[in-house]
Amino acid sequence: MIHPTAIIDPQAKLGPGVTVGPYSVIGPQVEIGEGTEIANQVTVLGPTRIGKNNRFYTGSSIGQDPQDKKYRHGEDSRLEMGDGNTVREFCTINRGTELGGGLTRVGHRNWIMATVHIAHDVIVGDDTVIANNTALGGHAIIGDKVVLGGFAAVHQFCRIGAYTITGAQSMIPQDVPPFLTVAGNRAKPYGVNSTGLERNGFTPEQVKTIQKAYKIFYRSKLGQAEALERLEKELGADPNVQTFIAFIRQSTRGVLR
Protein backbone atom coordinates (compact mmCIF):
# COMPACT_ATOMS: atom_id res chain seq x y z
CA MET A 1 0.00 0.00 0.00
CA ILE A 2 3.08 2.26 0.18
CA HIS A 3 4.66 3.15 -3.17
CA PRO A 4 8.42 2.47 -3.22
CA THR A 5 9.19 6.09 -4.18
CA ALA A 6 7.33 7.49 -1.15
CA ILE A 7 9.47 8.83 1.71
CA ILE A 8 8.08 8.09 5.15
CA ASP A 9 9.88 9.17 8.31
CA PRO A 10 10.41 6.37 10.86
CA GLN A 11 8.58 8.46 13.49
CA ALA A 12 5.40 8.64 11.41
CA LYS A 13 2.50 6.43 12.49
CA LEU A 14 0.28 5.01 9.76
CA GLY A 15 -2.90 3.12 10.61
CA PRO A 16 -4.16 -0.06 8.92
CA GLY A 17 -5.07 0.30 5.27
CA VAL A 18 -3.34 3.66 4.72
CA THR A 19 -2.11 4.12 1.15
CA VAL A 20 0.68 6.46 0.11
CA GLY A 21 1.24 7.23 -3.58
CA PRO A 22 4.36 7.90 -5.63
CA TYR A 23 6.80 10.60 -4.47
CA SER A 24 4.74 11.59 -1.46
CA VAL A 25 6.53 12.63 1.74
CA ILE A 26 5.32 11.86 5.27
CA GLY A 27 7.37 13.64 7.92
CA PRO A 28 8.01 12.98 11.61
CA GLN A 29 5.31 13.50 14.25
CA VAL A 30 2.59 12.61 11.76
CA GLU A 31 -0.27 10.25 12.62
CA ILE A 32 -2.58 9.06 9.83
CA GLY A 33 -5.69 7.08 10.66
CA GLU A 34 -7.02 3.87 9.20
CA GLY A 35 -8.12 3.80 5.58
CA THR A 36 -6.77 7.24 4.63
CA GLU A 37 -5.53 7.60 1.04
CA ILE A 38 -2.55 9.81 0.21
CA ALA A 39 -2.17 10.32 -3.55
CA ASN A 40 1.03 11.06 -5.45
CA GLN A 41 3.29 14.02 -4.61
CA VAL A 42 1.53 14.93 -1.37
CA THR A 43 3.52 16.33 1.57
CA VAL A 44 2.37 15.83 5.16
CA LEU A 45 4.51 17.33 7.92
CA GLY A 46 4.00 17.39 11.67
CA PRO A 47 3.04 17.65 14.36
CA THR A 48 -0.10 16.57 12.49
CA ARG A 49 -2.83 14.09 13.40
CA ILE A 50 -5.21 12.92 10.67
CA GLY A 51 -8.23 10.71 11.31
CA LYS A 52 -9.76 7.83 9.39
CA ASN A 53 -10.87 7.49 5.78
CA ASN A 54 -9.63 10.81 4.47
CA ARG A 55 -8.53 11.34 0.85
CA PHE A 56 -5.74 13.68 -0.19
CA TYR A 57 -5.27 14.32 -3.89
CA THR A 58 -2.18 15.17 -5.90
CA GLY A 59 0.10 17.97 -4.79
CA SER A 60 -1.51 18.94 -1.49
CA SER A 61 0.72 20.35 1.26
CA ILE A 62 -0.56 19.46 4.73
CA GLY A 63 0.89 20.55 8.05
CA GLN A 64 3.54 22.96 6.79
CA ASP A 65 4.84 25.79 8.99
CA PRO A 66 2.32 28.64 9.36
CA GLN A 67 2.69 31.65 7.10
CA ASP A 68 3.01 34.03 10.03
CA LYS A 69 6.05 36.24 10.59
CA LYS A 70 5.59 35.89 14.35
CA TYR A 71 6.05 32.12 14.15
CA ARG A 72 9.32 30.77 15.49
CA HIS A 73 10.56 27.33 14.55
CA GLY A 74 9.96 24.83 17.33
CA GLU A 75 7.03 26.57 19.03
CA ASP A 76 3.83 24.68 19.83
CA SER A 77 2.26 24.27 16.40
CA ARG A 78 -0.17 21.50 15.45
CA LEU A 79 -2.73 20.43 12.87
CA GLU A 80 -5.61 18.09 13.61
CA MET A 81 -8.05 16.69 11.06
CA GLY A 82 -11.04 14.45 11.66
CA ASP A 83 -12.52 11.62 9.60
CA GLY A 84 -13.92 11.39 6.11
CA ASN A 85 -12.50 14.60 4.68
CA THR A 86 -11.79 15.02 0.96
CA VAL A 87 -8.89 17.35 0.13
CA ARG A 88 -8.49 17.92 -3.59
CA GLU A 89 -5.46 18.91 -5.66
CA PHE A 90 -2.87 21.45 -4.46
CA CYS A 91 -4.56 22.47 -1.23
CA THR A 92 -2.48 23.97 1.58
CA ILE A 93 -3.41 23.49 5.25
CA ASN A 94 -0.96 25.06 7.71
CA ARG A 95 -0.35 24.27 11.36
CA GLY A 96 -1.27 26.66 14.16
CA THR A 97 0.83 29.22 16.02
CA GLU A 98 1.61 29.45 19.71
CA LEU A 99 0.08 32.93 19.99
CA GLY A 100 -3.06 31.71 18.24
CA GLY A 101 -3.57 28.71 20.50
CA GLY A 102 -1.18 26.40 18.67
CA LEU A 103 -3.80 24.51 16.69
CA THR A 104 -5.37 24.44 13.23
CA ARG A 105 -8.34 22.08 13.27
CA VAL A 106 -10.46 20.64 10.45
CA GLY A 107 -13.45 18.55 11.50
CA HIS A 108 -15.23 15.68 9.79
CA ARG A 109 -16.62 15.02 6.28
CA ASN A 110 -15.51 18.31 4.78
CA TRP A 111 -15.28 18.67 1.00
CA ILE A 112 -12.27 20.87 0.29
CA MET A 113 -11.82 21.56 -3.42
CA ALA A 114 -8.67 22.25 -5.42
CA THR A 115 -6.17 24.95 -4.41
CA VAL A 116 -7.95 25.94 -1.20
CA HIS A 117 -5.74 27.58 1.45
CA ILE A 118 -6.50 27.04 5.14
CA ALA A 119 -4.19 29.26 7.17
CA HIS A 120 -2.78 28.93 10.68
CA ASP A 121 -5.12 28.64 13.66
CA VAL A 122 -8.21 28.25 11.48
CA ILE A 123 -11.05 26.13 12.85
CA VAL A 124 -13.28 24.38 10.30
CA GLY A 125 -16.36 22.53 11.55
CA ASP A 126 -18.06 19.50 10.02
CA ASP A 127 -19.75 18.88 6.65
CA THR A 128 -18.59 22.08 4.99
CA VAL A 129 -18.02 22.65 1.27
CA ILE A 130 -15.08 24.93 0.48
CA ALA A 131 -14.94 25.55 -3.26
CA ASN A 132 -11.92 26.03 -5.50
CA ASN A 133 -9.37 28.75 -4.77
CA THR A 134 -10.98 29.86 -1.52
CA ALA A 135 -8.60 31.36 1.06
CA LEU A 136 -9.23 31.30 4.80
CA GLY A 137 -7.14 33.86 6.68
CA GLY A 138 -5.47 33.07 9.98
CA HIS A 139 -7.69 32.46 13.03
CA ALA A 140 -10.90 32.27 10.94
CA ILE A 141 -13.67 30.05 12.29
CA ILE A 142 -15.99 28.24 9.88
CA GLY A 143 -19.16 26.69 11.33
CA ASP A 144 -20.80 23.38 10.45
CA LYS A 145 -22.58 22.95 7.10
CA VAL A 146 -21.13 26.16 5.65
CA VAL A 147 -20.74 26.44 1.86
CA LEU A 148 -18.03 28.83 0.63
CA GLY A 149 -18.21 29.69 -3.07
CA GLY A 150 -15.20 29.56 -5.34
CA PHE A 151 -12.53 32.26 -4.93
CA ALA A 152 -14.06 33.41 -1.63
CA ALA A 153 -11.71 35.19 0.77
CA VAL A 154 -12.31 35.17 4.51
CA HIS A 155 -10.42 37.84 6.45
CA GLN A 156 -8.30 36.96 9.46
CA PHE A 157 -10.21 36.40 12.71
CA CYS A 158 -13.61 36.32 10.96
CA ARG A 159 -16.29 33.82 11.93
CA ILE A 160 -18.78 32.26 9.52
CA GLY A 161 -21.88 30.93 11.25
CA ALA A 162 -23.37 27.49 10.62
CA TYR A 163 -25.52 26.86 7.52
CA THR A 164 -24.27 29.99 5.76
CA ILE A 165 -23.64 30.03 2.01
CA THR A 166 -21.44 32.58 0.24
CA GLY A 167 -21.41 33.54 -3.40
CA ALA A 168 -18.37 33.04 -5.59
CA GLN A 169 -15.64 35.68 -5.25
CA SER A 170 -17.05 36.95 -1.97
CA MET A 171 -14.68 39.01 0.18
CA ILE A 172 -15.74 38.59 3.80
CA PRO A 173 -14.27 41.24 6.12
CA GLN A 174 -16.56 40.74 9.15
CA ASP A 175 -18.45 37.99 10.93
CA VAL A 176 -21.38 36.35 9.13
CA PRO A 177 -24.23 35.21 11.41
CA PRO A 178 -25.59 31.69 10.92
CA PHE A 179 -28.24 30.77 8.33
CA LEU A 180 -27.44 33.59 5.87
CA THR A 181 -26.75 33.98 2.16
CA VAL A 182 -24.00 36.54 1.51
CA ALA A 183 -22.17 37.63 -1.61
CA GLY A 184 -20.07 40.38 -3.10
CA ASN A 185 -16.85 42.32 -2.62
CA ARG A 186 -17.30 43.44 0.11
CA ALA A 187 -19.87 40.81 1.01
CA LYS A 188 -23.41 41.83 1.89
CA PRO A 189 -26.31 39.76 3.25
CA TYR A 190 -28.95 38.71 0.72
CA GLY A 191 -31.42 36.85 2.93
CA VAL A 192 -31.67 33.46 4.58
CA ASN A 193 -30.15 30.29 3.10
CA SER A 194 -33.61 28.73 2.94
CA THR A 195 -32.74 26.00 0.45
CA GLY A 196 -29.70 24.95 2.46
CA LEU A 197 -31.73 24.84 5.65
CA GLU A 198 -34.45 22.72 4.06
CA ARG A 199 -31.84 20.30 2.67
CA ASN A 200 -30.45 19.94 6.18
CA GLY A 201 -33.76 19.01 7.73
CA PHE A 202 -35.13 22.33 8.97
CA THR A 203 -38.92 22.40 8.93
CA PRO A 204 -40.85 25.10 7.03
CA GLU A 205 -41.88 26.58 10.40
CA GLN A 206 -38.25 26.78 11.54
CA VAL A 207 -37.19 28.44 8.29
CA LYS A 208 -40.03 30.93 8.55
CA THR A 209 -38.97 31.90 12.08
CA ILE A 210 -35.36 32.38 10.98
CA GLN A 211 -36.60 34.56 8.11
CA LYS A 212 -38.53 36.70 10.61
CA ALA A 213 -35.36 37.08 12.68
CA TYR A 214 -33.42 38.12 9.59
CA LYS A 215 -36.00 40.78 8.70
CA ILE A 216 -35.93 42.25 12.20
CA PHE A 217 -32.14 42.41 12.33
CA TYR A 218 -31.45 43.49 8.75
CA ARG A 219 -34.54 45.28 7.47
CA SER A 220 -36.15 47.00 10.43
CA LYS A 221 -33.71 49.95 10.26
CA LEU A 222 -33.02 49.48 13.96
CA GLY A 223 -29.53 49.77 15.42
CA GLN A 224 -27.89 46.52 16.40
CA ALA A 225 -28.68 46.76 20.11
CA GLU A 226 -32.30 47.68 19.46
CA ALA A 227 -32.71 44.93 16.87
CA LEU A 228 -31.32 42.29 19.26
CA GLU A 229 -33.61 43.52 22.02
CA ARG A 230 -36.61 43.19 19.71
CA LEU A 231 -35.47 39.71 18.61
CA GLU A 232 -35.21 38.55 22.19
CA LYS A 233 -38.64 39.94 23.00
CA GLU A 234 -40.51 38.57 19.97
CA LEU A 235 -38.62 35.41 19.00
CA GLY A 236 -36.20 34.72 21.83
CA ALA A 237 -37.83 31.42 22.81
CA ASP A 238 -36.80 29.83 19.51
CA PRO A 239 -33.48 27.93 19.79
CA ASN A 240 -32.33 28.90 16.29
CA VAL A 241 -32.98 32.56 17.02
CA GLN A 242 -31.08 32.15 20.29
CA THR A 243 -28.13 30.83 18.26
CA PHE A 244 -28.40 33.80 15.90
CA ILE A 245 -28.46 36.31 18.76
CA ALA A 246 -25.62 34.66 20.67
CA PHE A 247 -23.38 34.66 17.59
CA ILE A 248 -23.89 38.39 17.09
CA ARG A 249 -23.32 39.21 20.75
CA GLN A 250 -20.05 37.26 20.75
CA SER A 251 -18.66 39.08 17.71
CA THR A 252 -15.50 41.11 18.19
CA ARG A 253 -15.07 42.18 14.55
CA GLY A 254 -18.68 43.19 14.07
CA VAL A 255 -21.14 41.43 11.76
CA LEU A 256 -22.06 42.13 8.18
CA ARG A 257 -24.97 44.60 8.09
The residues assigned a catalytic role are 120-121, 138
Strands 188-192 and 37-38: unpaired
**Nearest partner of 161 among 139, 181, 137, 178, judged by Cα:** 178
Q: Are 119 and 136 in contact (CB under 8 A)?
A: yes
Please state, in angstroms and rounded to a whole number, the distance separating the CA atoms of residues 230 and 195.
26
* SS3 (DSSP) at 230: helix
Residue 215 one-letter amino acid? K
**How far lies 222's CA from each of 45, 212, 235, 238, in Å?**
50, 14, 16, 21
* SS3 (DSSP) at 151: coil
Please state, in angstroms and rounded to a whole number, the distance separating the CA atoms of residues 42 and 57.
7
Burial environment of residue 231 by CB neighbours within 10 A (0 to 12, 13 to 18, 19 or more): buried
Element (H, E) at 225: helix 224-235
